[in-house]
Chains A and B, each alone.
Chain A
Amino acid sequence: MCLAVPGKVVSIDHRADPLTGLIDFGGVQKQACLEYLPDIRVGEYVIVHVGFALQRLDEESARASLELFGQLGLLEEEFGDAWEQAARQESGTEAR
Protein backbone atom coordinates (compact mmCIF):
# COMPACT_ATOMS: atom_id res chain seq x y z
CA MET A 1 0.00 0.00 0.00
CA CYS A 2 2.84 2.26 0.61
CA LEU A 3 5.50 2.58 -2.01
CA ALA A 4 5.44 6.35 -2.47
CA VAL A 5 8.46 8.50 -3.22
CA PRO A 6 9.22 12.21 -3.15
CA GLY A 7 9.81 14.00 -6.42
CA LYS A 8 10.10 17.58 -7.64
CA VAL A 9 7.47 19.07 -9.94
CA VAL A 10 9.27 20.05 -13.16
CA SER A 11 6.33 21.18 -15.25
CA ILE A 12 2.54 21.19 -15.13
CA ASP A 13 0.22 20.61 -18.07
CA HIS A 14 -2.80 22.71 -17.09
CA ARG A 15 -4.78 21.59 -20.15
CA ALA A 16 -4.54 17.91 -19.28
CA ASP A 17 -7.60 16.26 -17.74
CA PRO A 18 -6.84 15.00 -15.18
CA LEU A 19 -4.24 17.62 -14.27
CA THR A 20 -0.82 16.15 -15.04
CA GLY A 21 2.75 17.14 -14.37
CA LEU A 22 6.28 15.93 -14.98
CA ILE A 23 7.99 14.86 -11.77
CA ASP A 24 11.74 14.47 -11.34
CA PHE A 25 12.93 11.71 -9.03
CA GLY A 26 16.62 12.53 -8.89
CA GLY A 27 17.29 12.27 -12.63
CA VAL A 28 14.40 9.94 -13.38
CA GLN A 29 11.38 11.71 -14.86
CA LYS A 30 7.84 10.41 -14.98
CA GLN A 31 4.40 11.91 -15.52
CA ALA A 32 2.10 11.96 -12.52
CA CYS A 33 -1.51 12.95 -11.96
CA LEU A 34 -1.70 16.21 -9.97
CA GLU A 35 -5.49 16.35 -9.69
CA TYR A 36 -5.36 15.86 -5.90
CA LEU A 37 -2.98 18.80 -5.43
CA PRO A 38 -4.59 21.34 -7.73
CA ASP A 39 -2.64 24.31 -6.37
CA ILE A 40 0.80 22.66 -6.50
CA ARG A 41 3.49 24.75 -8.18
CA VAL A 42 6.56 23.97 -10.26
CA GLY A 43 9.59 23.48 -7.99
CA GLU A 44 7.61 22.03 -5.09
CA TYR A 45 8.08 18.46 -3.92
CA VAL A 46 5.26 15.91 -3.91
CA ILE A 47 4.83 12.34 -2.66
CA VAL A 48 3.96 10.08 -5.61
CA HIS A 49 2.26 6.69 -5.46
CA VAL A 50 1.27 4.66 -8.57
CA GLY A 51 1.49 7.76 -10.73
CA PHE A 52 -0.48 10.05 -8.41
CA ALA A 53 0.82 12.95 -6.34
CA LEU A 54 -0.89 12.30 -3.01
CA GLN A 55 0.52 15.02 -0.80
CA ARG A 56 2.76 18.06 -0.91
CA LEU A 57 6.10 17.41 0.79
CA ASP A 58 6.60 20.03 3.46
CA GLU A 59 10.25 20.99 3.17
CA GLU A 60 10.21 22.94 6.43
CA SER A 61 9.01 19.85 8.33
CA ALA A 62 11.71 17.74 6.68
CA ARG A 63 14.39 20.20 7.79
CA ALA A 64 12.97 20.35 11.29
CA SER A 65 12.95 16.54 11.59
CA LEU A 66 16.58 16.26 10.50
CA GLU A 67 17.57 19.06 12.87
CA LEU A 68 15.84 17.27 15.72
CA PHE A 69 17.63 14.00 14.95
CA GLY A 70 20.94 15.85 14.89
CA GLN A 71 20.32 17.28 18.35
CA LEU A 72 19.30 14.01 19.96
CA GLY A 73 21.58 12.99 22.78
CA LEU A 74 23.51 16.24 22.80
CA LEU A 75 22.14 17.23 26.20
CA GLU A 76 23.09 13.92 27.76
CA GLU A 77 26.48 14.01 26.11
CA GLU A 78 27.26 17.16 28.06
CA PHE A 79 26.77 15.14 31.18
CA GLY A 80 28.89 12.43 29.64
CA ASP A 81 26.62 9.52 30.43
CA ALA A 82 24.78 8.75 27.19
CA TRP A 83 27.50 6.65 25.63
CA GLU A 84 28.26 4.87 28.87
CA GLN A 85 24.63 4.10 29.33
CA ALA A 86 24.36 2.82 25.77
CA ALA A 87 27.47 0.72 26.25
CA ARG A 88 26.07 -0.80 29.45
CA GLN A 89 22.94 -1.63 27.53
CA GLU A 90 24.92 -3.18 24.69
CA SER A 91 26.97 -5.44 26.91
CA GLY A 92 23.82 -6.54 28.64
CA THR A 93 21.77 -7.27 25.55
CA GLU A 94 24.11 -7.96 22.70
CA ALA A 95 25.71 -11.15 23.93
CA ARG A 96 25.43 -13.65 21.17
Chain B
Amino acid sequence: MADLATPDTAPVDPANWTCPAPLRDQPVVVMGHGGGGALSAELIEQVFAPAYGNPTLAALTDSAVLGLGGARLAFSTDSYVVRPLFFPGGCLGDLAVNGTVNDLAMSGARPTHLSAAFILEEGVELAVVERVARAMGDAARAAGVTIATGDTKVVESGHGDGVYVTTAGVGLVPEGVDIRPQRARPGDAVLVSGPIGLHGVAVLSVREGLEFGVEITSDTAPLADLVAAMLAVTPDLHVLRDPTRGGLGASLNEIARASGTGVRLRERAVPVPDEVANACGFLGLDPLYVANEGRLVAFVPAEHAEAVLAAMRAHPRGTGAAHIGECVADHPGMVVVATALGGTRVLDLPLGEQLPRIC
Protein backbone atom coordinates (compact mmCIF):
# COMPACT_ATOMS: atom_id res chain seq x y z
CA MET B 1 0.00 0.00 0.00
CA ALA B 2 2.86 2.32 0.85
CA ASP B 3 4.12 2.51 -2.73
CA LEU B 4 0.82 4.01 -3.84
CA ALA B 5 1.28 7.13 -1.78
CA THR B 6 2.33 10.27 -3.55
CA PRO B 7 5.98 11.16 -2.99
CA ASP B 8 5.29 14.24 -0.90
CA THR B 9 3.06 12.55 1.66
CA ALA B 10 3.44 9.69 4.04
CA PRO B 11 1.51 6.56 3.30
CA VAL B 12 -1.65 6.19 5.34
CA ASP B 13 -1.67 2.58 6.38
CA PRO B 14 -5.03 1.92 7.97
CA ALA B 15 -3.91 -1.45 9.26
CA ASN B 16 -1.52 0.32 11.58
CA TRP B 17 -4.02 2.76 13.01
CA THR B 18 -4.24 2.26 16.72
CA CYS B 19 -6.04 4.57 19.02
CA PRO B 20 -5.97 5.20 22.73
CA ALA B 21 -8.30 3.30 24.98
CA PRO B 22 -8.86 4.29 28.59
CA LEU B 23 -7.46 2.02 31.25
CA ARG B 24 -10.55 0.80 33.01
CA ASP B 25 -8.94 -1.80 35.19
CA GLN B 26 -7.06 0.61 37.39
CA PRO B 27 -4.83 -1.05 39.97
CA VAL B 28 -4.85 2.13 42.06
CA VAL B 29 -7.62 4.48 43.11
CA VAL B 30 -7.98 7.42 40.74
CA MET B 31 -10.10 10.54 41.19
CA GLY B 32 -12.77 9.10 38.90
CA HIS B 33 -13.59 6.45 41.50
CA GLY B 34 -15.18 9.27 43.52
CA GLY B 35 -16.84 10.97 40.56
CA GLY B 36 -20.24 9.32 40.81
CA GLY B 37 -19.96 7.78 37.35
CA ALA B 38 -19.09 4.42 35.89
CA LEU B 39 -15.85 4.10 37.89
CA SER B 40 -17.71 4.72 41.18
CA ALA B 41 -20.33 2.16 40.21
CA GLU B 42 -17.63 -0.39 39.39
CA LEU B 43 -15.93 0.18 42.75
CA ILE B 44 -19.20 -0.56 44.53
CA GLU B 45 -20.16 -3.50 42.32
CA GLN B 46 -16.71 -5.11 42.23
CA VAL B 47 -15.28 -4.33 45.67
CA PHE B 48 -17.85 -3.30 48.26
CA ALA B 49 -20.99 -5.22 47.34
CA PRO B 50 -19.21 -8.62 47.08
CA ALA B 51 -17.35 -7.97 50.34
CA TYR B 52 -20.46 -6.97 52.30
CA GLY B 53 -22.85 -9.19 50.34
CA ASN B 54 -26.41 -8.61 51.57
CA PRO B 55 -29.74 -7.84 49.90
CA THR B 56 -30.21 -4.45 51.58
CA LEU B 57 -26.99 -3.13 50.11
CA ALA B 58 -27.68 -4.80 46.79
CA ALA B 59 -30.57 -2.39 46.25
CA LEU B 60 -27.92 0.36 45.83
CA THR B 61 -30.27 3.11 46.94
CA ASP B 62 -29.20 6.46 48.40
CA SER B 63 -30.41 5.25 51.77
CA ALA B 64 -31.26 1.79 53.06
CA VAL B 65 -34.75 1.13 54.41
CA LEU B 66 -34.71 -1.27 57.35
CA GLY B 67 -37.54 -2.90 59.28
CA LEU B 68 -36.71 -2.22 62.93
CA GLY B 69 -39.03 -2.73 65.88
CA GLY B 70 -42.13 -2.38 63.76
CA ALA B 71 -40.95 0.85 62.15
CA ARG B 72 -39.36 1.39 58.74
CA LEU B 73 -36.11 3.19 59.29
CA ALA B 74 -34.17 4.90 56.52
CA PHE B 75 -30.42 4.89 57.17
CA SER B 76 -27.71 6.59 55.16
CA THR B 77 -24.13 7.81 55.37
CA ASP B 78 -21.94 10.01 53.23
CA SER B 79 -18.50 11.60 53.41
CA TYR B 80 -17.95 15.16 52.30
CA VAL B 81 -14.79 16.48 50.70
CA VAL B 82 -14.91 19.68 48.74
CA ARG B 83 -12.28 22.12 47.60
CA PRO B 84 -12.46 24.95 48.38
CA LEU B 85 -14.24 24.45 51.73
CA PHE B 86 -16.23 27.64 51.23
CA PHE B 87 -17.91 28.47 47.94
CA PRO B 88 -20.63 30.83 46.72
CA GLY B 89 -23.85 29.83 48.45
CA GLY B 90 -22.47 27.47 51.06
CA CYS B 91 -19.65 25.44 52.51
CA LEU B 92 -18.64 21.91 53.40
CA GLY B 93 -20.91 22.07 56.47
CA ASP B 94 -24.05 22.78 54.45
CA LEU B 95 -23.29 19.87 52.13
CA ALA B 96 -22.62 17.50 55.03
CA VAL B 97 -26.06 18.09 56.51
CA ASN B 98 -28.15 18.65 53.41
CA GLY B 99 -26.54 15.79 51.52
CA THR B 100 -27.41 13.17 54.12
CA VAL B 101 -30.84 14.69 54.79
CA ASN B 102 -31.52 14.44 51.06
CA ASP B 103 -30.26 10.87 50.77
CA LEU B 104 -32.79 9.93 53.46
CA ALA B 105 -35.55 11.97 51.84
CA MET B 106 -35.00 10.13 48.55
CA SER B 107 -36.51 7.03 50.13
CA GLY B 108 -39.46 9.12 51.27
CA ALA B 109 -38.23 9.26 54.86
CA ARG B 110 -38.68 12.14 57.27
CA PRO B 111 -35.06 12.63 58.49
CA THR B 112 -34.73 13.06 62.26
CA HIS B 113 -31.17 12.49 63.52
CA LEU B 114 -27.64 12.82 62.14
CA SER B 115 -24.15 11.94 63.33
CA ALA B 116 -21.13 14.02 62.40
CA ALA B 117 -17.54 12.77 62.28
CA PHE B 118 -14.71 15.21 61.55
CA ILE B 119 -11.29 14.39 60.18
CA LEU B 120 -9.17 17.48 60.73
CA GLU B 121 -5.73 18.15 59.36
CA GLU B 122 -3.12 19.33 61.81
CA GLY B 123 -2.57 23.06 61.38
CA VAL B 124 -6.06 23.99 60.18
CA GLU B 125 -7.27 27.17 61.80
CA LEU B 126 -9.86 26.55 64.48
CA ALA B 127 -11.88 29.44 63.06
CA VAL B 128 -12.32 27.40 59.89
CA VAL B 129 -13.57 24.39 61.86
CA GLU B 130 -15.90 26.65 63.76
CA ARG B 131 -17.34 28.13 60.55
CA VAL B 132 -18.00 24.65 59.19
CA ALA B 133 -19.57 23.51 62.49
CA ARG B 134 -21.80 26.60 62.67
CA ALA B 135 -22.96 26.02 59.11
CA MET B 136 -23.82 22.45 60.07
CA GLY B 137 -25.82 23.62 63.07
CA ASP B 138 -27.73 26.17 60.99
CA ALA B 139 -28.38 23.64 58.21
CA ALA B 140 -29.59 21.03 60.73
CA ARG B 141 -32.03 23.49 62.26
CA ALA B 142 -33.28 24.50 58.84
CA ALA B 143 -33.80 20.86 57.91
CA GLY B 144 -35.44 20.01 61.22
CA VAL B 145 -32.90 17.35 62.21
CA THR B 146 -30.80 16.90 65.35
CA ILE B 147 -27.06 16.22 65.23
CA ALA B 148 -27.13 13.63 67.99
CA THR B 149 -23.61 12.20 68.09
CA GLY B 150 -20.20 12.87 66.67
CA ASP B 151 -16.48 12.17 66.58
CA THR B 152 -13.25 13.97 65.80
CA LYS B 153 -9.91 12.68 64.58
CA VAL B 154 -6.82 14.64 63.63
CA VAL B 155 -4.34 13.55 60.96
CA GLU B 156 -0.83 14.90 60.50
CA SER B 157 -0.22 17.95 58.38
CA GLY B 158 -0.14 16.95 54.73
CA HIS B 159 -2.31 13.88 55.28
CA GLY B 160 -5.65 15.59 54.77
CA ASP B 161 -7.21 18.48 52.97
CA GLY B 162 -8.12 20.68 55.92
CA VAL B 163 -11.49 19.33 56.95
CA TYR B 164 -13.38 16.20 55.96
CA VAL B 165 -16.82 15.48 57.40
CA THR B 166 -18.77 12.23 57.44
CA THR B 167 -22.40 12.31 58.43
CA ALA B 168 -24.85 9.47 58.89
CA GLY B 169 -28.55 9.91 59.38
CA VAL B 170 -31.79 8.15 60.16
CA GLY B 171 -35.43 8.91 59.49
CA LEU B 172 -38.78 7.19 59.43
CA VAL B 173 -40.46 6.10 56.20
CA PRO B 174 -44.24 6.68 56.26
CA GLU B 175 -46.64 3.78 55.83
CA GLY B 176 -47.44 2.90 52.23
CA VAL B 177 -44.37 4.62 50.79
CA ASP B 178 -42.02 2.50 48.67
CA ILE B 179 -39.60 4.67 46.74
CA ARG B 180 -36.61 3.07 45.02
CA PRO B 181 -35.00 3.04 41.57
CA GLN B 182 -36.32 -0.43 40.74
CA ARG B 183 -39.89 0.92 40.76
CA ALA B 184 -39.54 3.08 37.64
CA ARG B 185 -42.21 1.99 35.13
CA PRO B 186 -42.74 2.79 31.47
CA GLY B 187 -45.18 5.66 31.34
CA ASP B 188 -43.84 7.38 34.45
CA ALA B 189 -43.32 11.10 34.10
CA VAL B 190 -39.79 12.31 34.86
CA LEU B 191 -39.80 15.54 36.88
CA VAL B 192 -36.92 17.68 38.11
CA SER B 193 -37.37 20.09 41.00
CA GLY B 194 -35.52 23.09 39.54
CA PRO B 195 -32.67 24.47 37.44
CA ILE B 196 -29.65 22.16 37.26
CA GLY B 197 -25.89 22.59 37.50
CA LEU B 198 -25.76 25.51 39.94
CA HIS B 199 -23.73 23.78 42.65
CA GLY B 200 -21.10 22.32 40.36
CA VAL B 201 -20.56 25.58 38.51
CA ALA B 202 -20.48 27.63 41.74
CA VAL B 203 -17.72 25.39 43.13
CA LEU B 204 -15.75 25.39 39.86
CA SER B 205 -15.93 29.19 39.75
CA VAL B 206 -13.74 29.41 42.86
CA ARG B 207 -11.52 26.39 42.23
CA GLU B 208 -7.82 27.22 42.16
CA GLY B 209 -6.56 27.73 38.64
CA LEU B 210 -10.02 27.90 37.12
CA GLU B 211 -11.51 30.98 38.80
CA PHE B 212 -14.19 32.78 36.84
CA GLY B 213 -16.73 35.43 37.74
CA VAL B 214 -20.35 34.37 37.82
CA GLU B 215 -23.28 35.54 39.89
CA ILE B 216 -24.69 32.18 40.82
CA THR B 217 -24.60 30.29 44.07
CA SER B 218 -24.76 26.65 45.05
CA ASP B 219 -28.25 25.20 45.27
CA THR B 220 -27.42 23.31 48.48
CA ALA B 221 -30.69 22.83 50.36
CA PRO B 222 -32.61 20.21 52.35
CA LEU B 223 -35.35 18.52 50.33
CA ALA B 224 -37.30 16.53 52.93
CA ASP B 225 -40.06 19.17 53.11
CA LEU B 226 -40.45 19.17 49.35
CA VAL B 227 -40.69 15.37 49.35
CA ALA B 228 -43.35 15.54 52.07
CA ALA B 229 -45.34 17.96 49.92
CA MET B 230 -45.09 15.57 46.96
CA LEU B 231 -46.09 12.59 49.10
CA ALA B 232 -49.14 14.54 50.25
CA VAL B 233 -50.37 14.38 46.64
CA THR B 234 -49.81 10.64 46.39
CA PRO B 235 -47.80 8.14 48.40
CA ASP B 236 -47.22 6.30 45.13
CA LEU B 237 -44.08 8.13 43.98
CA HIS B 238 -41.96 5.51 42.22
CA VAL B 239 -38.42 6.91 42.33
CA LEU B 240 -36.67 9.89 43.88
CA ARG B 241 -33.00 10.69 43.43
CA ASP B 242 -30.87 13.73 44.23
CA PRO B 243 -28.56 14.19 41.25
CA THR B 244 -25.33 15.09 43.06
CA ARG B 245 -21.98 13.90 41.63
CA GLY B 246 -22.40 12.93 38.00
CA GLY B 247 -25.45 15.17 37.77
CA LEU B 248 -28.81 14.42 36.23
CA GLY B 249 -27.17 12.20 33.60
CA ALA B 250 -25.70 9.80 36.15
CA SER B 251 -28.90 9.63 38.23
CA LEU B 252 -31.12 8.87 35.23
CA ASN B 253 -28.73 6.18 34.04
CA GLU B 254 -28.68 4.56 37.47
CA ILE B 255 -32.47 4.51 37.55
CA ALA B 256 -32.74 3.14 33.99
CA ARG B 257 -30.28 0.37 34.79
CA ALA B 258 -31.80 -0.52 38.16
CA SER B 259 -35.33 -0.72 36.74
CA GLY B 260 -34.56 -2.12 33.30
CA THR B 261 -36.52 0.69 31.69
CA GLY B 262 -35.49 3.41 29.26
CA VAL B 263 -35.59 7.12 29.88
CA ARG B 264 -36.43 9.62 27.18
CA LEU B 265 -35.42 13.17 27.99
CA ARG B 266 -36.57 16.32 26.19
CA GLU B 267 -33.48 18.51 26.07
CA ARG B 268 -35.42 21.74 25.72
CA ALA B 269 -37.52 20.97 28.80
CA VAL B 270 -34.50 20.60 31.11
CA PRO B 271 -34.06 23.85 33.05
CA VAL B 272 -30.42 24.94 32.58
CA PRO B 273 -29.69 28.51 33.75
CA ASP B 274 -27.87 30.62 31.16
CA GLU B 275 -24.84 31.08 33.42
CA VAL B 276 -24.54 27.31 33.87
CA ALA B 277 -24.85 26.72 30.13
CA ASN B 278 -22.31 29.43 29.36
CA ALA B 279 -19.77 28.34 31.98
CA CYS B 280 -20.10 24.77 30.72
CA GLY B 281 -19.71 26.14 27.19
CA PHE B 282 -16.27 27.60 27.67
CA LEU B 283 -15.04 24.75 29.87
CA GLY B 284 -16.36 22.04 27.56
CA LEU B 285 -18.59 20.41 30.18
CA ASP B 286 -22.08 18.96 29.79
CA PRO B 287 -24.57 20.55 32.24
CA LEU B 288 -26.38 17.22 32.45
CA TYR B 289 -23.32 15.80 34.23
CA VAL B 290 -22.75 18.76 36.59
CA ALA B 291 -23.44 18.24 40.31
CA ASN B 292 -26.49 19.54 42.16
CA GLU B 293 -26.94 19.64 45.95
CA GLY B 294 -30.51 20.83 46.30
CA ARG B 295 -32.41 19.22 43.44
CA LEU B 296 -34.30 15.99 43.02
CA VAL B 297 -35.49 13.98 40.06
CA ALA B 298 -38.76 12.10 40.45
CA PHE B 299 -40.41 9.25 38.51
CA VAL B 300 -44.12 9.67 39.03
CA PRO B 301 -47.07 7.67 37.62
CA ALA B 302 -48.45 9.63 34.67
CA GLU B 303 -51.88 10.08 36.26
CA HIS B 304 -50.33 11.94 39.21
CA ALA B 305 -47.69 13.86 37.26
CA GLU B 306 -49.59 17.10 36.87
CA ALA B 307 -50.68 17.26 40.51
CA VAL B 308 -47.22 16.38 41.83
CA LEU B 309 -45.63 18.97 39.55
CA ALA B 310 -48.08 21.59 40.82
CA ALA B 311 -47.26 20.67 44.43
CA MET B 312 -43.54 20.96 43.68
CA ARG B 313 -43.95 24.36 42.09
CA ALA B 314 -46.00 25.55 45.07
CA HIS B 315 -43.12 24.65 47.41
CA PRO B 316 -40.22 27.10 47.88
CA ARG B 317 -37.66 24.37 47.01
CA GLY B 318 -39.44 23.43 43.81
CA THR B 319 -40.54 26.67 42.17
CA GLY B 320 -38.53 25.86 39.05
CA ALA B 321 -39.80 22.29 38.74
CA ALA B 322 -40.25 20.91 35.24
CA HIS B 323 -41.52 17.84 33.44
CA ILE B 324 -38.44 16.82 31.47
CA GLY B 325 -39.21 13.40 30.04
CA GLU B 326 -40.73 9.98 30.28
CA CYS B 327 -39.86 6.50 31.37
CA VAL B 328 -40.23 4.18 28.35
CA ALA B 329 -40.11 0.49 27.53
CA ASP B 330 -37.74 1.09 24.59
CA HIS B 331 -33.96 0.95 24.94
CA PRO B 332 -33.96 -0.55 28.47
CA GLY B 333 -31.14 0.66 30.67
CA MET B 334 -30.45 3.66 28.46
CA VAL B 335 -31.15 7.36 28.60
CA VAL B 336 -31.88 8.98 25.25
CA VAL B 337 -32.12 12.72 24.78
CA ALA B 338 -34.37 14.27 22.13
CA THR B 339 -32.28 17.27 21.11
CA ALA B 340 -33.70 20.73 20.50
CA LEU B 341 -32.90 20.30 16.82
CA GLY B 342 -35.01 17.18 16.50
CA GLY B 343 -32.24 14.59 16.65
CA THR B 344 -31.44 12.19 19.43
CA ARG B 345 -28.36 11.29 21.38
CA VAL B 346 -27.58 8.69 23.97
CA LEU B 347 -26.78 10.12 27.40
CA ASP B 348 -24.40 7.55 28.82
CA LEU B 349 -23.23 7.11 32.38
CA PRO B 350 -20.21 9.41 32.76
CA LEU B 351 -16.93 7.58 33.38
CA GLY B 352 -15.75 9.77 36.23
CA GLU B 353 -15.20 13.42 36.91
CA GLN B 354 -15.72 15.85 34.04
CA LEU B 355 -12.59 17.86 33.28
CA PRO B 356 -12.27 21.07 31.30
CA ARG B 357 -11.40 20.11 27.74
CA ILE B 358 -10.04 21.95 24.71
CA CYS B 359 -11.37 19.68 21.98
Chain A positions within 8 Å of B, measured between CB atoms, are: 1-3, 5, 7, 22, 25-30, 48-50
Residues of B within 8 A of A26 (CB): 274-275, 277-278
A22→B211 CA distance, assembly (Å): 13
Residues in A with CB closer than 8 Å to B278 are 25-28
For the complex, give the distance between the alpha carbons of A70 and B21 in Å: 43
Secondary structure call for the A interface: strand
* Interface pair B214/A27, CB less than 8 Å apart: yes
* A18–B277 CA distance with the chains assembled, in angstroms: 29
Chain A nearest CB from B214 CB (Å) reads 5
B213 within 8 A of A: yes
Given contacts A27-B274, A28-B279, contact A3 B214 (CB under 8 A): no
Q: Which B positions have Cβ atoms within 8 angstroms of A?
A: 212-215, 274-275, 277-279, 281-282, 284, 357-359
Q: Is the CB of B213 within 8 A of A5?
A: no
Given A1-B358, A3-B357, A5-B282, list of 12 further CB < 8 A pairs? A3-B282, A25-B282, A26-B275, A27-B274, A28-B213, A28-B214, A28-B278, A28-B282, A29-B212, A30-B213, A48-B282, A50-B358
Taking CB atoms, residues of chain A closer than 8 Å to B281 are 5, 25
Does A27 contact B282, Cβ atoms closer than 8 Å? no
A30 to B358, CA, bound (A): 16
Query: Contacts of A5 on B, CB cut-off 8 Å?
Result: 281-282
Chain A CB within 10 A, most for which of B278, B282, B359: B282
Select from chain A the residue with minimum beta-carbon distance to B278.
Answer: A26
Q: What residues on B are CB-neighbors of A30 within 8 Å?
A: 212-213, 282
A22 proximity list for chain B (CB < 8 A): 213
Chain A residues positioned under 8 Å from B279 (CB to CB)? 25, 28
A25: shortest Cβ distance to chain B, in Å?
Answer: 5
